[in-house]
Amino acid sequence: MPGMNASLKPEFRPIRSFVLRQGRLTNAQARILQERGSFYILDAQAAWHSPWAGSQALMLEIGFGNGEHLTQFAEKHPDWGCIGAEVHSPGVGSLLLRAEAAGLQNLRVLHDDVAPWLRSLPDSVFALVVVQFPDPWRKKRHHKRRIIQPDFLELLHRVMQSGGELQLATDWQPYAEQMLTLLESAPGWENLAGSGHYAAPPENRIQTRFERRGTALGHAVFDLRFACRKK
């Protein structure tokens, strides 16, 4: 099972948006990682090539949690190649169990820090990038750890196709406001809901257990949908 990428390019912002906690694997998660990890998990150090032949569209979900949304997306869109990035082993194990049970062939996993990997990719790889409920890092001194930052948006813009879509969702309003401001001030992004507006949830977004729990507690969800525009 690939380890965390310790190498950083000089231009990479070295502040990570996550804390790598040692989660406990269930027996089933440990088994699937051992038995099927070599099939599903990408080598973060290897030169990029699509795991699938042909010209199918590729999507990337960053921080997929337990994989509920990603596996359902892959099931509903068998003509898409789906890649999920997650640093936490229990989440990866949970995703692999779901993928194996569903017999998914159009899904792969980056079990590593996504930013250095993205920097190694060629331009214009993804037609869709999804970031759902990223850690809001509520304390002001931790805001620098939020994944949606100007340099990360610049990186996403490079690896996304022109006309591709970036979908974001959060239930933390101050983070939603910051993301909206950052995207509308960054070059090359078009707010599909109109300037200054949040979007309706995209049709492809599956409501996860995390979101259902938050909704039951009265948490509002803020969706952002931006198109990548290149000259």
CB 134 within 8 A of CB 19: no
**140 vs 111: CA distance, rounded Å:** 29
Do the annotations mark residue 12 as ligand-binding?
no
Do the annotations mark residue 79 as ligand-binding?
no
CB 77 within 8 A of CB 46: no
Do the annotations mark residue 61 as ligand-binding?
yes
Do the annotations mark residue 230 as ligand-binding?
no
Sign of CA pseudo-dihedral 195, 197, 200, 205: positive
Q: Active-site residue 223, yes or no?
A: no
Do the annotations mark residue 209 as ligand-binding?
yes
Q: How many CB atoms lie within 10 A of CB 141?
A: 7
Which one is catalytic: 43, 79, 123, 135? 135
**98 vs 109: CA distance, rounded Å:** 13
Do the annotations mark residue 64 as ligand-binding?
no
**60 vs 126: CA distance, rounded Å:** 7
Do the annotations mark residue 35 as ligand-binding?
no
Question: Which tokens hold the place of 159?
Answer: 């690896």
Do the annotations mark residue 203 as ligand-binding?
no
CB 2 within 8 A of CB 112: yes
**102 vs 114: CA distance, rounded Å:** 25
User: What burial class does residue 22 get, using C-beta atoms within 10 Å of its C-beta: 0-12 exposed, 13-18 middle, 19+ buried?
Assistant: exposed
Do the annotations mark residue 171 as ligand-binding?
yes
Select from 224, 155, 146 the least CA-distant residue to 184.
Answer: 224
CB 168 within 8 A of CB 136: no
Residue ranges of the binding site for substrate: 139, 171, 208-211
Active site residues: 135
Numbered residues of the known binding site: 61, 86, 113, 135, 139, 171, 208-211
Binding residues for S-adenosyl-L-methionine are 61, 86, 113, 135
